[in-house]
Amino acid sequence: MTAPEGRGIANLPEPFPGAVPGPSDSFRILHVSTGNVCRSPITERLTRHALAHRLGDPFTGGLIVESAGTWGHEGAAMETNAAAVLADFGADSSGFMGRELLDEHVIRADLVLTATRDHRAQVISMGHSAGLRTFTLKEFTRLVRAIDPATLPDPLDDGVVERARALVRAAAALRGWLLAPSAEADEVHDPYGAPLPFFRSIGDEISQALDPVVTALTGVPAPA
């Protein structure tokens, strides 16, 4: 069974129902917001865009990037202003379809990055041992900045998937020691219904938060 258009990097094949990927097969990143039409689509497509630039080929490394919403608009297109933000970054918005967050999405995700703490709590409340692999995006960025990249597997020797798995374990271990400076520090606010300039400010927030994450995942810094 293959993913519907707009799911994962270049619609990579999904595993058979109930199948558990091997340790080096793939690494799934799931971005979660409310409606899956604004923040999480922007984050999903900016992540794919950054990975393609760092790795040179979106098929490289086995990383799969998806998104869903806790109140997702199933089958909906992303908001027009969200697509405009992606165009500003040169990222592709085509073929996107919103979806509601389901248990299977959480079960299969290796890393869940949410827009807010409330989304994080909702994902964790679904169970599936999601607590150690679910963070807000900005929380994960803060933790990743504190991790010495020299302690992570070399992506050339061990593969990007092994590096990504080690990064999540290291971030989870740091969570209780490196707290947010304020309650707002881990939030990406909802631009739904807002004018384009506010969408662009949210896009900039997301892009800045993603940059160190993608660098840590791939071991490749952003192009100058």
Chain mean position to CA 198: 21
Residue 111 has pLDDT above 90, yes or no: yes
State the chain's mean pLDDT as an integer.
87
DSSP state of 186: G
pTM: 0.88
Q: Is residue 20 predicted with pLDDT exceeding 60? A: no
Q: What is the pLDDT of residue 55?
A: 86
Conformation bin of residue 129: beta by default, left when phi > 0, alpha when psi is -120 to 50: left
Q: Order of strands, edge to edge, in the sheet holding 63-69?
A: 63-69, 27-33, 111-114, 134-136
Which of 60-64, 161-165, 170-174 has the lowest average pLDDT?
60-64
Model confidence at 57: pLDDT above 50: yes
Which residue matches tokens 């340790």? 23
Lowest mean pLDDT among 89-98, 99-108, 179-188, 204-213: 179-188
57 or 62: which carries more pLDDT confidence? Answer: 62
Please report the pLDDT score of residue 178 as a whole number: 77
| Confidence bin at 15 (pLDDT 50/70/90) | very low
DSSP state of 112: E
CA distance 63 to 48: 9
Answer whether residue 72 shows pLDDT above 90: no
Measured between its terminal Cα atoms, the distance across the chain in Å is 39
Average pLDDT value for residue range 136-163:
94
